[in-house]
């Protein structure tokens, strides 16, 4: 079943786009932020800052975007009893997660190579944060994808919602730079915790990060469980056409 993946490879000739697109995005944002010397409230290298921030956004934002409306174009495949919505989601999530990860890793290596970037202080912590964001993205994506099957409102609302969440997601600031009162609230946003973990790994002792691992973890578990029940529910109501 995992082989469904291969399908997407052939969608158009350049499946390279899978990771070239996020790379272009990230590079664009990095350059913009570098040029504008954006105020991010710390003395960190802007390239690393933009890279960690924006890649994380891509990770949790693209997965839901791909899962919303994922079922419909694949309805014909539902004729086969062993193809279920969860397979379609899994295929798209793997692809999206993989694409974002490859883009993040490639860009990091490239920037390190050309000297714009120092290598991360603690790779394992970076991976930990990255995986958690990815997990969060998967849960969110499946939930959104399943709900979108029930009501097209989800599709309409997702775009504004994801844009509003972008500035709140920790991509463009360090929690430490915020006033203490705001810190408390911003950490209620799960993505912020993830981005902070990634940055802790990247910058090590150069920054003071704030996050609550347990809180983010709880979000991931809760989202995943909720998403799975919704997917199961959609599964029951599916009508192949």
Partner 1 sequence: MISVEHVHKVYPTRTGDRVVLDDISFSLGKGEKLGILGRNGAGKSTLIRLVSGAERPTSGSITRSMSVSWPLAFGGAFQNALTGLDNVRFISRIYKQDYRQNIDFVASFTELGLYLREPVRSYSQGMRARLAFAISMIIEFDCYLIDEITAVGDAKFHEKCATELFHKRRDRAMLIISHDAEYVRNHCGKFAVLEDGKLVFYPDFDQAMAAHTHNLHLNAQ
Residues near partner 1 (CB under 8 A) are 1, 3-4, 6-7, 10-11, 74, 76-83, 235-241
CB of 144 to partner 1, least distance (A): 22
d(CA 7, CA 23): 22
d(CA 141, CA 130): 16
Looking at beta carbons only, is 205 or 241 nearer to partner 1?
A: 241
Contacts of 70 (CB under 8 A, 6+ apart): 85, 88, 89, 92, 145
DSSP collapsed to 3 states, 173-241: CCHHHCCHHHHHHHCCCHHHHHHHHHHHHHHHHHCCCCCCHHHHHHHHHHHHHHHHHHHHHHHHHCCCC
CB of 82 to partner 1, least distance (A): 6
CB of 19 to partner 1, least distance (A): 21
d(CA 238, CA 109): 44
CB of 9 to partner 1, least distance (A): 10
CB of 90 to partner 1, least distance (A): 14
Cβ atoms < 10 Å from Cβ of 215:
13
Looking at beta carbons only, is 8 or 166 nearer to partner 1?
A: 8
Query: Is the separation of the CB atoms in 204 and 128 below 8 Å?
Result: no
CB of 73 to partner 1, least distance (A): 8
Looking at beta carbons only, is 37 or 236 nearer to partner 1?
A: 236
Query: Is the separation of the CB atoms in 143 and 7 below 8 Å?
Result: no
Looking at beta carbons only, is 10 or 37 nearer to partner 1?
A: 10
Looking at beta carbons only, is 37 or 81 nearer to partner 1?
A: 81
Residue with tokens 């490859």: 102
Looking at beta carbons only, is 83 or 189 nearer to partner 1?
A: 83
């Amino acid at each position: 079943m995992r082989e469904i993946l291969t399908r997407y490879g052939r969608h158009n000739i350049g499946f390279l786009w899978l990771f070239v697109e996020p790379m272009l995005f990230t590079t664009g944002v990095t350059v913009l932020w570098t040029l504008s010397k954006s105020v991010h409230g710390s003395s960190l290298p802007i390239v690393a800052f933009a890279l960690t921030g924006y890649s994380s956004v891509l990770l949790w934002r693209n997965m839901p975007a791909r899962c919303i409306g994922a079922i419909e174009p694949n309805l014909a495949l539902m004729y086969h009893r062993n193809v279920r919505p969860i397979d379609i989601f899994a295929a798209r999530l793997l692809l999206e997660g993989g694409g974002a990860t490859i883009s993040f890793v490639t860009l990091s290596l490239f920037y390190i190579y050309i000297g714009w970037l120092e290598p991360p202080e603690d790779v394992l912590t970076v991976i930990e944060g990255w995986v958690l964001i990815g997990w969060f993205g998967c849960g969110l994506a499946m939930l959104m994808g399943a709900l979108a099957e029930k009501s097209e409102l989800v599709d309409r609302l997702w775009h504004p919602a994801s844009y509003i969440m972008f500035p709140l997601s920790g991509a463009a600031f360090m929690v430490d730079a915020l006033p203490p009162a705001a810190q408390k609230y911003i950490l209620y946003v799960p993505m912020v915790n993830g981005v902070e973990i990634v940055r802790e790994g990247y910058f090590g002792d150069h920054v003071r990060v704030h996050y609550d691992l347990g809180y983010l973890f709880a979000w991931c578990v809760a989202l995943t469980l909720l998403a799975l029940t919704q997917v199961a529910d959609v599964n029951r109501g599916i009508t192949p056409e």
